[in-house]
Amino acid sequence: METKHDRLPVRHVAILTEYDGSKFNGWQAQALGRTVQQTLVKALEQLTGQNDIALYGSSRTDAGVHARGHVSHFSARTRIPAEKLPLAMNSLLPPDVAVLAAADVSEDFHAQYHAKGKSYSYRIWNHASRPAIDRYRVCHVPVKLDIEKIRQAIPLLVGRRDFSAFVDGGSCHRNPVRTLSDVTLDADGPRLTFKFQGDGFLYHMIRILTGTLVAIGQNKLSGQDLPVIIAAGDRARSGKTMPPQGLCLERVYYDPPLFDDFFFQIYSNRSERK
């Protein structure tokens, strides 16, 4: 028998989420282990009374990787306005994942396939003593790095390149060509933050790029080695894959923009506090 709920129109909604990946076995749902996708779907099904919600993500982050600006989308019959959905979902979610914003989108919108680019950060604690409070949010590199050598090498990564040397086995991507539009390194004492922005990234690409730049800072590689490594496309020549906890998905970009008002508010407030 048809109910009032069945007569509700199907809505298509995108949500912006952040999560601490420390206790998640990645984003994507799987048979074993706790995942972000399954956690969000459970909350959505509780809210809507549906048990068949499919949630599609912009990025399938690995276990231990964090996100400040992950985007996903779903379709459901619900009366809850988009602006009230974050509070409603957050009341059902655990403390290590939160919905920051939501927006109604077109039926053909896809969080992954319509993404024009992404930005990530990788954080390092470069000090002899290991971190305690941030141990699940930074990678500890005890040997002091040569920051100037790393910064001199960074421009060699920017542009459209074949990044075959910076992808681990298991990648589902057939085309290794990607465009890095911006790479930076911010140093605040022992706190180092690498930032990467590009049109897309290969499996473990950022963690390997960071590992290669760290190797340059340790004088294990030189900046002059980068063009040779890129040209050879040989994974054995690049740096190690850095641990997951330093990596964070910062933002996913769309055209037309999605959730720009939220990010503008966040970054404007940060600028005012400086």
Domain at 216, CATH number: 3.30.70.660
- What values do phi and psi take at 139, rounded to 5? -100, 130
Q: What percentage of the chain exceeds 70 in pLDDT?
A: 93
Domain that holds residue 76: 5-104
Instruction: Looking at the structure, tell me whether residues 97 and 121 fall in a common domain.
Output: no
Write down the pLDDT at residue 262: 82
How far apart, in Å, are the Cα atoms of 45 and each of 14, 41, 93, 130, 179? 15, 6, 12, 42, 38
pLDDT digits (tens, 9 = 90+) for 190-216: 999 999 999 999 999 999 999 999 999
- The residue among 147 and 32 whose pLDDT is bigger is 147
Please report whether residue 269 resides in a domain.
no
Please report whether residue 63 resides in a domain.
yes
Identified catalytic residue from 6, 20, 62, 234: 62
Total domains present in the chain = 2
Which CATH number covers residue 97? 3.30.70.580
User: Which tokens hold the place of 79?
Assistant: 């009366």
Please report whether residue 138 resides in a domain.
yes
User: Which tokens hold the place of 105?
Assistant: 């989108």
Last residue of a domain, one of 79, 104, 129: 104
Instruction: Looking at the structure, tell me whether residues 123 and 240 fall in a common domain.
Output: yes
Cα separation of 23 and 25, whole Å?
7
pLDDT digits (tens, 9 = 90+) for 44-95: 999 999 999 999 999 999 999 999 999 999 999 999 999 999 999 999 999 9
Which residues are CB-contacts of 177 (< 8 A; sequence separation ≥ 6)?
Answer: 160, 161, 162, 163
Query: Does the active-site annotation cover 104?
Result: no
Instruction: Looking at the structure, tell me whether residues 122 and 246 fall in a common domain.
Output: yes
Please report whether residue 266 resides in a domain.
no
pTM tops 0.85: yes
**Residue 25 pLDDT greater than 70, yes or no:** yes
Instruction: Looking at the structure, tell me whether residues 247 and 142 fall in a common domain.
Output: yes
What's the whole-number mean pLDDT along residues 98-117? 97
